[in-house]
Amino acid sequence: MREAGLSFNQLVDETRQQLVLHYLRDPALELAEIAFLVGFSEPASLARAFRCWTGQSPGDYRRHLMH
C-alpha cells in the first residue's frame, strides 16, 4: 500500500465509496442497510461521507440513477 501511495484509511474510504455507489443501484436496499453494509454506524454518517465524495446526497444520487 505504501508503494502505491495509499494509507489504510484512504483505502477503506475508497472501498466504501465504490461499494456505496454499487449498492445505491439496488432500489431494494435502504440507506440504513447500505450504511450498515459498508461499516457506518448510522445513515447520517453515510450521508455526510457521500456528500463529501460526490457533492450530493445518496437519495439525490439514487433518484438521478432511476431517471
What pLDDT does 3 receive?
75
At 1 the pLDDT is: 64
Q: What is the pLDDT of residue 5?
A: 78
The CA distance from 17 to 11, in Å, is: 10
For domain 8-66, the CATH architecture is Orthogonal Bundle (1.10)
Cβ count near 24 (within 10 Å): 19
Contacts 24+ apart (CB under 8 A), 63-67: 65/24, 65/25, 66/27
Split the chain (67 residues) into runs of 10 and give each run's mean pLDDT: 80 95 96 96 96 96 91
Instruction: Please state the pTM of the whole predicted model.
Output: 0.86
